[in-house]
Structure 1
Amino acid sequence: MSIEHDAPRTLDTIAIGDVQITRVVEWHGPIAPGPEVFPDAPEPVWQRHADWLVPDFWEPRTTFFKANMQTWVLRSEGQVILVDTGLGDDKERPYATPWAHLRTGFLERLAAAGVQPEDVDIVVNTHVHADHVGWNTRLVDGQWVPTFPRARYLIPKADFTFWNPLNGHPKRGSLGGINAALGNQNMFEDSVRPVHEHGQADLWEESHRIDGNLELEAMPGHTPGTSMLSLRSGSERALFVGDLLHSPLQFVEPHAEVCLSEDAPAAVRQRNRMLERAAETRALVLPAHLPGPGAAEVRRDGATFAISHWAPFSPAR
């Protein structure tokens, strides 16, 4: 299956202080009905915000919300850092067939951004889900090997333990009746365990400082190891929040949690905590999956939040 034509042709780069940020999109399109994925946001909630959700983020006719699978490429203090690695090619996903056996052209798009696999110093998996770790590995002569041969892979220890099938942890998240364990079937074996076996995985807990600009911190809820990468350079701030936020609807309706989360109440608390910090520090919020402008700054708006302005990334439609 090839979905290369669904990905945007543009490569977008901005700077936050001394750190350069480039968005490289692997996949773009409608995902699933918003009211189904966000049980606390029925269709009238989406309709109430349709004037700005359409066309980049929501399709009112089908009720499907739109998403990107994308990687944030950071250049900081002489290092090349990838934040999340998308779906990957050639993966067997029996209960997520739209993401199985892909040919996305992602490595070619990464090369167009000036990055070859051997250039990458650090890979950050904000959490362990199939759509965040796929390009950790690639298939070579029938074996899964690390895609980025020089990189250290920063993987939350809590998620490494949780998703290791040998540990038998029950999975609560689900979508359309498919349990999270089934939706992520084979993911640990083909995208996580190989980098650990090659000695390239660093399993961290609580927090992990990458350099003078970047620090990871645990934000458990969506998964036990869900994390956020904070960027602070000079007076400028950014937060790479992974799946703390799946749709921009959650900027203004932060109580609306996805059905995929292992601990939904904790995920809501972490999102509010993140948004409070973003509003207070005027940090740019860069979720993993937002299409369109891709990121935004927020401000306090009574008991909730509002979007102050969008990032200048080019929309993909």
Structure 2
Amino acid sequence: MSEIKLGDVTVARVEEMHGPIMPAATFFPSIPAEAWHESALGPDHLVDGMVHAAMQTWVLRSEGRTILIDTGVGNDKSRPAVEAWDHLELDYLGNLARAGVHPDDVDLVINTHLHVDHIGWNTRLVDGEWVPTFPNATYLMPRIDVTFWDPANHDGLVGSVNENAFADSVAPVRAAGQVELWEGSHTIDANLRLEAAPGHTPGSSVLKLHSGGDRALFAGDLIHTPLQLTELGHSSCFCEDPVTAAATRRELLGWAAENDALVLPAHLSGHGALEIRNDGEAFAITQWAPFDRL
């Protein structure tokens, strides 16, 4: 199954790529080595000490609109800090088409935050110029992250994973007049609401779904591995403010557990989304969503 229904909202999962990202000890330097159990996390999330993850887009159809949540790494882009992402040639648009989505059909693009692996397909290369991939869409971006990642306001981007990302994946969409900035919270429609979730980046956000009797949390980079359900206080090496990220994680996962909400992070491989329950001071997986395994 590649598509589910939550209340009146249809949710599909579109993959860009998946596989090993980096060693567990590098990705999560504060998680004790003995906490990583391949018998529990493999083969979807941990293999030979390497964390596995997916780059993917959640496609929502709500109140007659087609909405994309995050747009992966992108093709043709110069990513000197991450060799595996440098000048990619992937069939992401073909995967979107197989999910019934043509770029012209997209009404709204949500970038939960502006890390390189969430904004890449905002644009594509046409005749040597970066142009918006989704010409009819409004791109919702957190104002705080736009300010934070703008090279004019940020020292030290050279050599970072976000080197070049603002110039090729954000600035062209702004120049086209397609960006809407928001902060605090932002209501999209009767089913969907964006909320600030700071820590991973200053402007990180999540999308909450309330439709009929269903609830869901499109969690962005709230977690990168299921191990963070039990190791709540440990953030990834890419979190700008690890302490705030941990507090945000605990709060929002608590909301999901209390409301029986499906949690749909940006990067989990395998079935990609899960239901959780309170388990003492942490959380446990109740069940995985019925999406096909990556």
**TM-score if structure 1 supplies the norm length?**
0.91
Encode CA deviations 1:8-45: one digit per residue, 9 max, x unaligned: xxx71011111000000001100001122112213210
Work out the CA distance in 2 between the residues paired with 1:169 and 1:98: 24
Give the aligned length: 294
**Given that residues 234 and 242 in structure 2 are in contact (C-alpha distance below 8 angstroms), is that contact kept between their aligned partners in structure 1?**
no
In structure 2, the partner of 1:57 is: 45
CA distance in 1, matches of 2:234, 2:244: 12
2:6 is aligned with 1:20:
no
Structure 1: state its 5+ residue gaps: 1-10, 172-178
**Partner amino acid, structure 2, of 1:130:** V
Instruction: Give 1:216-231 correspondences, 5 Å limit.
Output: 216-231=194-209
**d(CA) in 2 for partners of 1:92 and 1:35?**
27
After TM superposition, give the deviation of residue 157 of structure 1 in Å: 0.4
Write out per-residue CA displacement over residues 212-258 of structure 1, whole angstroms, 9 at most, x where no aligned residue: 10000111100010000000101100000100111111122211210
1:77 to 53, 60, 63: 63
Deviation of the 1:131 alpha carbon: 0.3
Question: Which of residues 72, 90, 109 in structure 2 aligns to 1:123?
Answer: 109
Aligned to 2:223: 245
* 2:261 paired residue number: 283
Single out whichever of 277-286 and 11-20 deviates more from structure 2: 11-20
Specify which of 33, 45, 55 is matched with residue 43 of structure 1.
33
Q: Is the 8 A contact 1:28 1:66 kept in 2?
A: yes
Structure-2 separation of matches of 1:225 and 1:149: 25
1:305 aligned residue (262, 265, 283): 283
Distance in 2 of aligned mates of 1:194 and 1:269: 34
* Residue 124 (structure 2) aligns with: 138
Measure how far apart 1:169 and its partner are.
5.0
1:213 matched to 2:201:
no
- Partner Cα separation in structure 1 for residue 17 and residue 240 of structure 2: 25
State whether structure 2 residue 148 is matched by structure 1 residue 147: no
Instruction: Give me the TM-score of the superposition, normalised by structure 2.
Output: 0.98
Distance in 1 (CA, whole Å) between partners of 2:43 and 2:122 is 32
Separation in 2, partners of 1:217, 1:291? 24
Residues 1:263 and 2:251 aligned together: no
The one of 71, 76, 89 aligned to 1:90: 76
Segments ≥4 residues shifted beyond 6 Å = none
Name stretches of at least 5 consecutive residues in structure 2 with no aligned partner: none
Match of 1:159, SS state, is: helix
Structure 2: how far apart are the matches of 1:197 and 1:108?
26
C-alpha distance after superposition, 1:163-196 (max 9, x if no partner): 000113567xxxxxxx8x6211000000001101
CA distance in 1, matches of 2:83, 2:188: 35
- SS of structure 2 residue aligned to 1:182: coil
Partner residue in 2 for 1:102: 88
Matches of 1:305 and 1:253, distance apart in 2: 9
